[in-house]
Amino acid sequence: MSKASAIREMSDEQLGHELREAQKALFRLRLQAATERNDVPSNARKLRQTIARILTVQRQRELNKV
């Protein structure tokens, strides 16, 4: 899912949904890290990268509309 090409193929509604889900998952991982129950710390980095990709695609689409 984290490939930029797959993200670019999504509709605006799908991007919004994926962004919300990734942000929720990142929040859960941060809570786990705070309670020292995080088994795979690299997942947080992957989620942050996915969120950044989604936000970048949304911004590109916003600029293309103008």
How far apart CA 17 and CA 14 sit, in angstroms, is 5
22 or 4: whose pLDDT is higher?
A: 22
Output the pLDDT for position 46.
94
Q: What is the pTM of this model?
A: 0.87
Q: Is residue 2 scored above 90 in pLDDT?
A: no
Please determine, looking at this structure, whether the domain spanning 4-65 carries the CATH number 2.60.40: no
pLDDT in tens, 8-55: 999 999 999 999 999 999 999 998 888 888 778 889 999 999 999 999
